[in-house]
Amino acid sequence: MGFQANDLIGQSRVKHLLDNILNRERIAHAYLFSGPKGSGLLPFALRFAEQVNATETSSLPWHKHPDIHVFIPMPTSSSIDELNARLEWLKEDSYALVEYVDRPDSEKDRNKNKQAFYSIEYFRSDIRPVTRLRPFQGKKVVVIMTMVETMRKETANSFLKLLEEPSDGVMFILTTHHYEQLLPTITSRCQHIAFGQNTLQEVEHALINHEGILEKDAKLLVRLTQGNYGKTKTINVEDIQDSRDEVIDFLRKSFVIDASSVQNLIQSWTSKHNIEGLIQLVELMETFLRDLIVYQHGKNTDPLIHADALETIQNILTHVQEANFEQMISLLQPLKKELAQNVNPKLLFTVLALNYARLMRGLSPKISTDRAYEHLPSIHLGS
């Protein structure tokens, strides 16, 4: 399959560019694919590797080709067997989320969150030896490395030597979501191909036609993930609706300062979600608060992500007329960062509930030291 096959989502400019490179047979020794999450960097890298090594009589998929090797950032405690397990997901679906940053834990170990990167040991033991191979069946030994911005300094310096002294038989395809974080000495030695964000319409069309998802569910998934096709596949619509009910309950219980119910809900969240799951919960809360703002100002349902919860949105706006939803949203970005840094989630959500209790009454979340008693849940904040 070439780049015009409809299994690759969007990116018409990139498809045309890569087709031209292949047709002219002027293959560089290193390519750098950069773009936002969900833009398809890895699926396009896999297809490019297949096409580079395709012959008139053979065109093997990447996972069956002896000359195509794929690497992702790995935690130091992980083994090559764990890498292979994640590549198995990729065999089934090239848009599957395999990075630890997207799916940080195995099903057997969901409450630990590991930092993944390219350590020098990983580079020396697994990646560099592959670059010394000669093509066995194709034209090039293709080394695909994702999220190369996670290279440690020592690793980046060692990798740079490979780029400075390229072998005719080896080609690198690197991907990054943060081009600005890469060393100029690395970017200058690669042919850079920039990807744009897929449109919501392109992703929605793919979900309906490729995945058989109902249009109303596809619209919800696309808006929740901001067009990240891979991420839509990790979300169950029924689970989203259950989580949304919990988010709404959190807002209500925070407003009435029902400390016991808030703590029970927080306990439930932290027991059944890992850090990534908690961050997704916060993102869901953010989308719901944005819908409250949108409907409050325009009474228009078209832009709403949670249009199916319109009655609830109307009810909240009727009873919480002084709420500062903009400031409530502003508290969520630092909360996500603190969750990612493994700050105690129970404390974070407790503080959020106390701040929301005030903000939903039009009060400042900051309490002066001479009025410290207002921190107590028993105080009627509306007085």
Q: What is the mean pLDDT of each run of 10 residues along the chain (383 residues)?
A: 72 90 87 92 93 81 91 85 87 85 58 74 91 87 94 90 86 94 90 90 86 81 82 80 91 92 94 86 92 88 82 92 92 91 91 92 75 53 43
pLDDT the model gives residue 223: 80
Segments of 122-176 assigned E as strands = 141-145, 170-176
The SS3 call for residue 47 is helix
d(CA 129, CA 131): 5
CB distance 93 to 231 below 8 Å: no
pLDDT the model gives residue 47: 93
pLDDT the model gives residue 3: 66
d(CA 203, CA 206): 5
The superfamily in CATH containing domain 12-198 is P-loop containing nucleotide triphosphate hydrolases (3.40.50.300)
Number of neighbours of residue 10 by Cβ within 10 angstroms:
22
Q: Kindly list the distances between the CA atom of residue 285 and the CA atoms of 87, 132, 241, 297, in Å, as whole numbers in the listed order.
A: 32, 49, 12, 19
Angle at CA 229, nearest 5°, toward 228 and 233? 115
Q: Kindly list the distances between the CA atom of residue 336 and the CA atoms of 278, 309, 340, 352, 364, in Å, as whole numbers in the listed order.
A: 8, 25, 6, 12, 21
Q: Kindly list the distances between the CA atom of residue 199 and the CA atoms of 75, 223, 286, in Å, as whole numbers in the listed order.
A: 33, 11, 21
- Residue 122, C-beta contacts closer than 8 angstroms, at least 6 positions apart: 74, 76, 155
Q: What is the pTM of this model?
A: 0.73
Question: For the structural domain made of 236-375, what CATH number should be given?
Answer: 1.20.272
pLDDT the model gives residue 383: 41
User: In what helix (H) or strand (E) does residue 280 lie, and over which residues does it extend?
Assistant: helix 275-298
- Going from N- to C-terminal start, the domains of the chain cover 12-198, 236-375
Tokens 């809360």, located at residue: 285
pLDDT the model gives residue 351: 92
The SS3 call for residue 170 is strand
